[in-house]
């Protein structure tokens, strides 16, 4: 934590500031001394991200003040060991905004702890139960957090978790939405329903908690991308890769990280799952609902110019690696967007969601090297990659599907296996093709399918319904002859150096914004720099988005 000497400024004649502990878009936190009770406290200096708000929009400033006071009073009634205690509120004419006097928690934050490495599943489960108990107490008082993340979980010296920044987080969006026309939040941990425009409910806090625990054990965020828009779109549209290090915590994560908030467990049920993980025992089975959609539909804004829109459900795979990437420090990124810009970005550039990291193919096996030519080496499905009696290498392993002929082969196999050419998504990588294929001629229900040269067309475990922003299409309407030229153009013109990942995505028609069928070609590198271009079904380029363009 950054230390600094503020000159012993005294607030309200009682609280002497001693050191700046940190700050963000909605205020600064100070270590202070309560001169009356002679104890250390934390002072939260509440202020909007725009320091001139009170001058040019006094009504908005007054609204901010009123909501801070309302939430502080509500939280002051939450007497819980895992919720930071509100001691006092300073609100006087000499201060533009209120100051919150809070208990001082001295063990650092969960973000500080994760910078030293991930938690074990049992440690994460124990911490998750503590945070969850604080959330349940706050929810009972009518207060939602809306910004659960590692930086907002403080640790006491004995390691117990304390959830903080309630009062600010709880008013952050409502104030921004109604007062300034913008939305503020942390995209990495934001629930899909909140990204789509809903204020969300307690279930949104459970999503954020589960995502925080996923990061705590895995050491990395599964849906963090190279830009804010890409992260938002990934949370909204992509399936989470199965956790590789969660062990007994996996059932709790799988249950709470469902994109449909109605499909998530109750807080009590989630606590049962976390308790089982903490004790290392099998937990109660999470309710299964095969009708749960694998993506959360984006509520379309009004009067937004037509823009590209990708399939609502994708399962792209990670680029093969020889080892698991090193654990890196988990840091949150603050997001502040105007509502029109955010709506247009998510409705239009949500094609960023189809990235090469994440999805049902992003398993430890998908991140491992491809099978060797050793007859005993398992293939992608766990069966031998070739017949043990055949000494010749399996030639089909070397087929590049990201070519006109490769795509046509995959399309033919999928059509033969499913009996239809109707799909709602189609993504092509060099080694596999992922698709969501419509069921029995339905225009709403689909199933996930994958094609690999070694295994042919195989059906996945997920099914669902297309969202309101996607229309099924015939895969035969795409002309794949121009694919090689489009890929070469992407490498030459999009500003991504040392390209390591290339893939193509069919852009489904969007009935809301009248966006036609098309194809998007992406290139990226090991630093997750990404650019893409779009073409019509015949391969004519209609848009390029170089690396660095949000």
Q: Is 124 helix (H, G, I), strand (E, B) or coil?
A: helix
Q: How far apart are CA 512 and CA 518, in angstroms?
A: 16
Q: Which of 112, 147, 443, 476 is catalytic?
A: 147
- The single residue listed with the structure tokens 């205690």 is 85
Q: How far apart are CA 373 and CA 395, in angstroms?
A: 10
Nearest to 200 by CA among 264, 254, 157, 244: 264
CA distances from 298 to 58, 172, 229, 258 (A): 33, 21, 14, 15
DSSP, residue by residue, 224-282: --SSHHHHHHHHHHBPPPPPSS-GGGHHHHHHH--SSGGGSPPHHHHHHHHHHHHHTS-
Phi-psi region of 172 (alpha: psi -120 to 50; beta: other; left: phi over 0): alpha
Q: Is 189 helix (H, G, I), strand (E, B) or coil?
A: helix
Q: How far apart are CA 453 and CA 485, in angstroms?
A: 23
- For residue 465, with 0-12 CB atoms within 10 Å meaning exposed, 13-18 middle and 19 or more buried, which class applies? buried
Q: Are 283 and 320 in contact (CB under 8 A)?
A: no
Q: Name the DSSP class of 370.
A: P
SS3 breakdown of the chain: % helix, strand, coil, rounded to 5? 30, 20, 45
Q: Which residues contact 268 (CB under 8 A, 6 or more apart)?
A: none
Active site residue 147: yes
Q: How far apart are CA 531 and CA 490, in angstroms?
A: 8
- Two tokens, residue 522: 């992406």
Between CA 299 and CA 306, with CA 301 as vertex, the angle to 5 degrees is 110
Q: Is 444 helix (H, G, I), strand (E, B) or coil?
A: coil
Q: What are phi and psi for residue 145, nearest 5 degrees? A: -85, -55
Between CA 120 and CA 129, with CA 123 as vertex, the angle to 5 degrees is 135
Sheet holding 99-103, edge to edge: 10-11, 15-24, 27-34, 39-46, 99-103, 86-90
The residues carrying an active-site annotation are: 147
């Amino acid at each position: 934590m950054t230390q600094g000497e503020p000159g012993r400024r005294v607030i309200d004649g009682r609280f002497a500031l001693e050191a700046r502990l940190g700050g963000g878009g909605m205020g600064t936190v100070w270590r202070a001394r309560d001169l009356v009770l002679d104890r250390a406290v934390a002072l939260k200096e509440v202020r909007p991200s725009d320091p001139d708000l009170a001058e040019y929009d006094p009504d908005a400033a007054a609204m901010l003040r009123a909501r801070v006071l309302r939430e502080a009073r509500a939280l002051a009634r939450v007497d819980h060991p895992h919720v930071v205690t509100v001691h006092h509120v300073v609100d006087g004419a000499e201060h533009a905004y209120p100051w919150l006097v809070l208990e001082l928690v001295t063990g650092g934050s969960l973000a500080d702890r994760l910078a030293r490495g991930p938690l074990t599943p049992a440690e994460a489960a124990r911490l998750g139960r503590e945070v969850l108990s604080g959330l349940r107490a706050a929810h009972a008082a009518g207060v939602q957090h809306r910004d659960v993340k590692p930086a907002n979980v403080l640790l006491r010296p004995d390691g117990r978790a304390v959830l903080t920044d309630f009062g600010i987080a709880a008013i952050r969006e409502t104030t921004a939405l109604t007062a300034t026309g913008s939305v503020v939040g942390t995209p990495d941990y934001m629930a899909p329903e909140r990204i789509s425009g809903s204020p969300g409910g307690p279930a949104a806090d459970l999503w954020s908690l589960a995502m925080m625990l996923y990061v705590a054990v895995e050491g990395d965020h599964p849906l963090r991308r190279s830009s804010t828009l890409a992260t938002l779109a990934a949370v909204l549209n992509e399936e989470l890769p199965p956790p590789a290090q969660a062990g007994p915590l996996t059932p709790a994560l799988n249950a709470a990280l469902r994109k449909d908030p109605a499909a998530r467990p109750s807080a009590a049920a989630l606590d049962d799952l976390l308790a089982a993980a903490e004790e290392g025992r099998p937990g109660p089975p999470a309710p299964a609902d095969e009708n749960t959609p694998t993506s959360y539909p984006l509520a379309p804004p009004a009067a937004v110019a037509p823009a590209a829109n990708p399939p609502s459900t994708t399962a792209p795979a990670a680029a093969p690696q020889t080892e698991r990437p090193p654990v890196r420090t988990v840091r949150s990124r603050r997001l502040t967007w105007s509502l029109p810009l955010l709506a247009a970005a998510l409705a239009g550039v949500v094609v960023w969601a189809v990235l090469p990291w994440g999805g049902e193919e992003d398993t430890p096996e998908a991140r491992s090297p491809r099978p060797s030519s050793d007859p005993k080496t398992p293939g992608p499905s766990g069966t031998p990659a070739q017949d043990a009696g055949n000494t010749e290498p399996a030639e089909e392993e070397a087929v590049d599907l990201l070519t006109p002929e490769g795509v046509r082969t995959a399309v033919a196999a999928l059509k033969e296996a499913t009996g239809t050419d109707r799909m709602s998504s189609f993504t092509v990588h060099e080694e596999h093709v992922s698709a969501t294929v419509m069921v029995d001629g339905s225009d709403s229900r689909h199933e996930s399918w994958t094609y690999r040269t070694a295994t042919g067309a195989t059906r996945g475990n997920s099914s669902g319904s297309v969202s309101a922003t996607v229309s099924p299409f015939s895969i035969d309407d795409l002309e794949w002859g121009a694919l090689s030229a489009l890929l070469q153009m992407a490498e030459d013109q999009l500003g991504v150096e040392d390209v390591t990942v290339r893939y193509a995505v069919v852009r489904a028609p969007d009935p809301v914004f009248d966006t036609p069928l098309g194809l998007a070609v992406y290139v990226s590198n090991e630093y997750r720099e990404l650019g893409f271009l779009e073409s019509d079904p015949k391969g004519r380029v209609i848009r390029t988005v170089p690396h660095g363009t949000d």
